[in-house]
Amino acid sequence: MKDTITEQILSGHLVEGELKESREIGLTIDQTLTQDATGTMVYLEFESLGIDTVKPAVAVSYVDHNIIQTDSRNADDHLFLQSCAAKYGVVFSPPGNGVSHHVHRQRFGVPGQTLLGSDSHTTTGGCISMLAMGAGGVEVAMAMAGHPYHIETPKVWGIYVEGQFQPFVSGKDLILELLRRYSCKAGTGKIMEFFGPGVRNMDMSARATIANMSVDMGFTAAIFPSDEVTRQFLARNGREDVWRELKTGPDPQWSEKTQIDLGQIEPMVACPSNPDNVKKASELSDVEIQQVIIGSSCNGSYRDFMIAAKIVEGKIRHPNVSFEINSGSRQTLDNVLAAGGITALVEAGARVHESGCLGCIGMGQAPATGTVSLRTFPRNFKGRSGTKDDQVYLCSPETAAASALTGRITDPRTLGEMPGIPYPERFKYKSDWFIQPPEEGSAIEIIRGPNIQPLPEFTALEDALEGTVLIKVGDNISTDIIMPAGNRVLPYRSNIPAISEFVFEIVGVEFPIRAKEKGGGFVVGGENYGQGSSREHAALAPRYLGVRAKIVKSFARIHKANLVNFGILPLCFVDPTDYESIKQDDIVSIPGVKTAVTKGASEIPILVNGREVMTRLEISDRQRRILLAGGILNLAKQQK
């Protein structure tokens, strides 16, 4: 990693371990963020640690996911989060302020600092040269309490960029092209770092979109240089004083390297139902669409809406298309409004929604049965939209706007001349949109609605484990499949007994009933198990239902950490073909597991119907202590 920006930031924040490949390291965290779908658990976990106030210099609580208030539960939880923020010294961003990733880079991000967020797309902060990482909520709670954040020393994948984008081609097309080439699991254990002469031709919208979706390739983070583009972005936001230059050194050591000519990138589209199922937009012109949504966390910037507005200005949406706009932040909405972009969009037939995640996590905007939805969002996992058998395609704002006019997926390069986009010298902004904490919050009473339930308590690791295979699933199982989102489920995020009733609902198995009848058991899965969201409920709810180990071909990074943090063994088949021989309802036992974990064994034999199958437990010594204690909170309380 010599001379990489990654190494510069890691070495400046290293407090435990050595920067050697695959070794666990501990990093100080400068900033944290939470969002409401995961944040309620974060504050319950932080509260259990008995800390009076957060330790990082910047901590922000965002309400951006569960903003639809169909009953009292979301509103109750918003009050809970606001009172927690006031008590513990956290800035509060209320509903309507916008998506955490988008707002944070505008108002709080600082080049060269570390950012940890309870949302996988926290990686967006890499657009301004932060080491920005998503994590499970409990790890964010620990960071808020002043503990280091632990990861394995990442490999660094250098992306050398030259040239410039064609007209109507942008950052979304580049990240989709990378997904097409390398898959959704290519970045596991790695950080993506951009360098080369073409980087200066990538505006902040492109950088943010790519950094956002880097996690959807499996990357721990993505990092861009802090250069003149970064300085101009911070200056437009009135924050030029925090700018500092960061660039890749003259002799970078990459684990692997990719060369990209921006001029060769074409408009790309991710087809149902995974972000790496990518084709050229020009190959999909026969696909009729019924919904187009521009915005959310991935493409919710000023530039994204203004290019869409210029494309549709003076025209009208296709009569069969519901054309919808979700701005990334209140600030962005206000500035697009001032520039005339909202007028152009509304007159073209667009529906303008409030700033927030909305349809990206199935909180409204569900498409009709049997229809195609074209979105600028980062994910299109089956059922994530709120419609069970959905057909969701992902694309750039340019492709989305062009397609909204034609009623079918359209290569925007067919539109003619690329319109120009006017930028203000300084973006409009009001600091009063945020609620600052009082200097002293110890006397503040936390407001708890009836849906706020206590954290479940879990036992330490037993000497041996035995049970049945409760479910067997395939490759690329997302956290949306394990623990669905949407307006039916997310309101229970602070009520683990209630939310556990939805585990694996999408795959049509009555998993909670089976788990209770069998007294817990095991989950068997394929490659890249647990991809997608950082939601720790995908580990916490199964643990509540008695799952003590998940046995798969490979894990996604964040989900594996979440499993350990709640006392579930993350086991991988030594021989992947053993996966084929196991079926639902098989009897599994793991004799002597506590002794094996204590002694540091990396190979754990399990018995499946009496037949030995070898699995691998690849975790650090610290994580072994967590498993033995039954979870990270148990361990933290023991060490107090």
Q: What is the pLDDT of residues 304-356, one digit of tens each?
A: 999 999 999 999 999 999 999 999 999 999 999 999 999 999 999 999 999 99
| Residue type (1 letter), 244 | R
Is residue 496 exposed (0-12), middle (13-18) or buried (19+ Cβ within 10 Å)?
Answer: buried
Banded model confidence at residue 68, pLDDT cuts 50, 70, 90: confident
- Tokens for 42? 């974060």
* Residues facing 590 on adjacent strands: 465
- Tokens for 444? 């503040």
* Residues facing 158 on adjacent strands: 193, 257
| Predicted pLDDT at 149 | 98
Contacts 24+ apart (CB under 8 A), 574-578: 574/603, 574/614, 574/615, 574/616, 575/613, 575/614, 578/613, 578/614
DSSP 635: H
In the numeric block, the tokens 């203000």 are attached to 424
Average pLDDT taken over every residue of the chain: 96
Q: Which residues contact 510 (CB under 8 A, 6 or more apart)?
A: none
| Predicted pLDDT at 2 | 74
| Residue type (1 letter), 271 | C
* Residues facing 521 on adjacent strands: 468, 547
* Spatial distance between the Cα atoms of 396 and 375, rounded to a whole number of angstroms: 8
- Judged against a pLDDT cut of 80, whether residue 640 lies above it is answered with no
| Predicted pLDDT at 296 | 85
Q: Which helix (H) or strand (E) holds 59?
A: strand 58-62
Contact between 171 and 212 under an 8 Å Cβ cutoff? The reply is no
| Residue type (1 letter), 515 | A
- 137 — phi, psi (to 5°)? -55, -35
- Judged against a pLDDT cut of 70, whether residue 26 lies above it is answered with yes
- Tokens for 69? 């208030």
| Predicted pLDDT at 639 | 81
- Judged against a pLDDT cut of 80, whether residue 374 lies above it is answered with yes
| Predicted pLDDT at 21 | 85
| Predicted pLDDT at 553 | 98
- Tokens for 17? 């371990």
CA 404 to chain centre: 27
Q: SS3 string of 7-36?
A: HHHHHHHEEECCCCCCCEEEECCCEEEEEH
* 371: helix, strand or coil: coil
Contact between 211 and 127 under an 8 Å Cβ cutoff? The reply is yes
Banded model confidence at residue 487, pLDDT cuts 50, 70, 90: confident
* Spatial distance between the Cα atoms of 187 and 474, rounded to a whole number of angstroms: 20
User: For the whole prediction, is pTM greater than 0.85?
Assistant: yes
- Judged against a pLDDT cut of 90, whether residue 536 lies above it is answered with yes
Q: Map out the domains of the chain with their CATH numbers.
A: 5-264 (3.30.499.10), 268-415 (3.30.499.10), 465-638 (3.20.19.10)
- Judged against a pLDDT cut of 90, whether residue 362 lies above it is answered with no
* Spatial distance between the Cα atoms of 333 and 111, rounded to a whole number of angstroms: 25
Give which of 296, 299, 298, 272 is closest to 284, Cα–Cα.
272
What distances in angstroms separate CA 158 from CA 9, 222, 333, 384, 516, one per listed residue?
A: 16, 10, 34, 32, 48
Q: Which helix (H) or strand (E) holds 268?
A: strand 268-270
Q: Which residues contact 176 (CB under 8 A, 6 or more apart)?
A: 268, 269, 270, 275, 278, 394, 395
| Predicted pLDDT at 46 | 97
| Predicted pLDDT at 1 | 64
| Predicted pLDDT at 297 | 85
- Judged against a pLDDT cut of 70, whether residue 477 lies above it is answered with yes
What distances in angstroms separate CA 233 from CA 129, 188, 247, 393, one per listed residue?
A: 12, 30, 17, 30
- Tokens for 402? 């062009």
CA 117 to chain centre: 9
For the segment 252-303, what is each residue's pLDDT rounded down to a tens digit? 999 999 999 999 999 999 999 999 999 999 999 999 999 999 998 899 999 9
Helix, strand, coil: what percent of the chain each, to 5?
35, 20, 45
- Tokens for 135? 């994590």
What distances in angstroms separate CA 258 from CA 195, 248, 278, one per listed residue?
A: 10, 15, 19
- Tokens for 316? 């009208």
For the segment 446-464, what is each residue's pLDDT rounded down to a tens digit? 999 998 999 999 999 999 9
Contact between 578 and 605 under an 8 Å Cβ cutoff? The reply is no
- Judged against a pLDDT cut of 80, whether residue 508 lies above it is answered with no
For the segment 207-222, what is each residue's pLDDT rounded down to a tens digit? 999 999 999 999 999 9
Q: Which residues contact 225 (CB under 8 A, 6 or more apart)?
A: 5, 129, 194, 195, 199, 245, 246, 247, 248
Neighbours of 19 (CB within 10 A): 15
Banded model confidence at residue 597, pLDDT cuts 50, 70, 90: very high
Neighbours of 585 (CB within 10 A): 13
For the chain, how big is the Rg over CA atoms in Å? 23
Give the residue-averaged pLDDT of 155-162: 98
- Judged against a pLDDT cut of 90, whether residue 486 lies above it is answered with no
